[in-house]
Structure 1
Amino acid sequence: MSAYQISDSMITGLNMPWIKDKQSSLIQGEILLQTQSHTAWGGSVTACMYLPLLRSQVWQQLTDYPRWVQYFPDLTKSEVLSKGEVKRLYQVAQKTFLFFTAQVEIYLEVVELLGQQIQFRMQKGTFLDFAAILDLKDLGNGTLLTYQVKATPNIPIPSIVIQQAMHFELPANMRKMRQVLCKVK
């Protein structure tokens, strides 16, 4: 196996067999995405991207939570409320749809598995439910970043609409994240 190949154990651990044959696309900068229904009004998405940085470099930047406003353009605030084994975050995002602007806020519990994974669970907020996992694996001379999100908004929007929005917006957000992490203009 070459340094850039994704092993079966890597994809089994992440439950992502759909990326195995697309590793060259990842290395070339493609954002791989898979959307699924989550609830009648929610969606689930898994996005993968390659970063030409060591995992320790990526980890250091990702755990700087106030900096997340640079990664996700709709995120207007990301504040650490408490530190410790379980951190607490407060985040605010604003999104405009046609003539309507929605603002959401969320209080998250954050558990870090040093250098490997960040788990986000909603405590309260303007979602019925929200959970995310950010996973980091070594891949060649860089890092495979996988971001899995499951969310149900508190307004009844059909699941397919949520999935389409995630499918459209998350790749752009991930490219922005890579640009900031890698300091590329």
Structure 2
Amino acid sequence: MPDRSIRYSFLSRAFHWSVALLVLLMIPAGAVMIQDGLPQPVQNTLFILHKNTGLLVLALVLLRLVWRQIAPPPPLPDRVPGWQRRVADLNHRLLYLLLVLMPVAGYVRVKAGGFPIETLDAWGVPALVPESEALATFAKSVHYYGALALGALIGLHLLAALYHGAIRRDGVVARMWA
């Protein structure tokens, strides 16, 4: 077990793995829900789950960002080269940016398109954007290209974790495990 001083806190790990699980479930759900020929009840269910899970992801990511200010991440082991530190930092910053941007763009796409977000509607939260086909179309493009970029960054993150965990065995990955 890694030294507690170089390990992420329990709450940081809980945020990480919760968001990771939700995002990894949302990617295929998002891809499937837009397919032609899908039975309407299945498509509706996937859309509802995707929209409302997106809200949960946004809340968790924002809480995690606040928590990172309270409990900063542990330092990388000294043996990690400077260029890898810079790439890791950039990857994390871009992941956080996209994990906020994606739900916001999804929200704008849905509300500007005149569609419901069941949880927010049930709570009586008014739409924060006007209905606008142009805005909905723009947000749809942002969400689509953001999804591609997020997939690429997640892939890079996973490859780096495999490299550090299976090849280098340098303690980087152990910081995120219990």
- Range class of TM-score, shorter chain: under 0.3
TM-score, reference length from structure 2? 0.25
Alignment TM-score, normalising by the size of structure 1? 0.24
Name whichever structure is richer in strand by fraction.
1
* Greater helix proportion: 2
Over alpha carbons, which structure has the higher Rg?
2
